Amino acid sequence: MIMEYLKNYKNFTFSESIVRDFILKYPRHFAQSTIKETSKQCNVGMATVTRLCKKLSFNGFTDFKSAFLKELKDIERLDNGKKTTPFDSSTSIQEILDGLPFVYEKAIGYTKIAMDEMVLQRTTELIQNAYVLIFATGINKAVGEIFSYKLEELGIPCKTMDSIHYQMIDSLILRNQEVFAIFLSHRGKNESVIEAAQYIKKNRIPNLLICSQVSEEIREYCNEILYIVPTYTTKEFSNTQFVMAEQYVLDVIYSLLFVKNLDFVEKMISKKYYERIDFNGEF
């Protein structure tokens, strides 16, 4: 989460950007540095380092450094013994059986580190009484449709689309229906998703982008962003890791909503809505 904040935060001063670049380029060196050593290394004042920490919502250098060390430790644990390319032509069935859980762990582990609890909390509150619209294409759309199905189990209406439906959005607004939009994109460069994001922002609809990298084309239209593990090639099981991470983020949101709607779920169960009747009319 801290690394992503540093990469994507846009309001650093020139001096603060020097500190930011130092931390990103030499994370392990920074991990062993005091505030005085950091300021000296960057040729800036200690007040500059403190301001950077506070801009990222930390109380100061000590608070920032503590969170940074924990994140770095988690990243190193995930990196330890994990090959970028999990399998090769000599990989056996048993090695695949043993290795796939590590691929899943890496995808979820990195995504968990980048998770922002405040964004999750705000998102959950907004979804609770909203009509949810998910914009995604390709494999992302399939993931979105699974999430739609789960939300509808909780009585929350949700629709997944691969392009903007202007009349539908206009009708929801005219009916004073609260709406929340979710954009699923690998790098935030999908034209149909960007077009949807533009119209969503134009109508002041709160929204969330879930992605591994944020393009400048879509960033300006998004209220909230949650990052997932960045992947690049098929050899590193890019699609597997990306989908697993995306599913994890959406399942966290679903779980938060499940807890908020537990009374509703229990009423549904008590009325036997989940009972399945066979063709003979027997339970």
Task: Quote the pLDDT of residue 99.
Answer: 84
Residue type, 223: N
pLDDT at 136: 96
Residue 214 in 3-state DSSP? coil
Residues belonging to the chain: 283
Alpha helices by DSSP H, 163-237:
166-174, 191-202, 216-219
CATH number of this structure's domain 113-269 = 3.40.50.10490
Q: Among residues 88, 108, 41, which one has the least CA distance to residue 244?
A: 108
Q: How far apart are CA 123 and CA 164, in angstroms?
A: 21
Whether 2-78 shares its CATH topology with 113-269 is answered: no
CA distance 109 to 186: 18
* Edge-first strand listing for the sheet containing 207-211: 158-161, 131-135, 179-184, 207-211, 224-227
In the chain, % of residues over pLDDT 70: 92
The CA-atom distances, in angstroms, between 94 and each of 37, 88, 91, 241 are 49, 13, 8, 20
| C-alpha pair distances (Å), 115 with each of 143, 146, 183 | 19, 21, 16
- Residue 199 burial by Cβ neighbours in a 10 Å radius (0-12, 13-18, 19+): middle
Residue ranges in the chain modelled with pLDDT below 70: 1, 77-84, 232, 272-283
pLDDT of residue 6: 84
Residue extents of the structural domains in the chain: 2-78, 113-269
CATH class name, domain 2-78: mainly alpha
Taking only the tens place, the pLDDT of each residue in 143-191 is 999 999 999 999 999 999 999 999 999 999 999 999 999 999 988 888 9
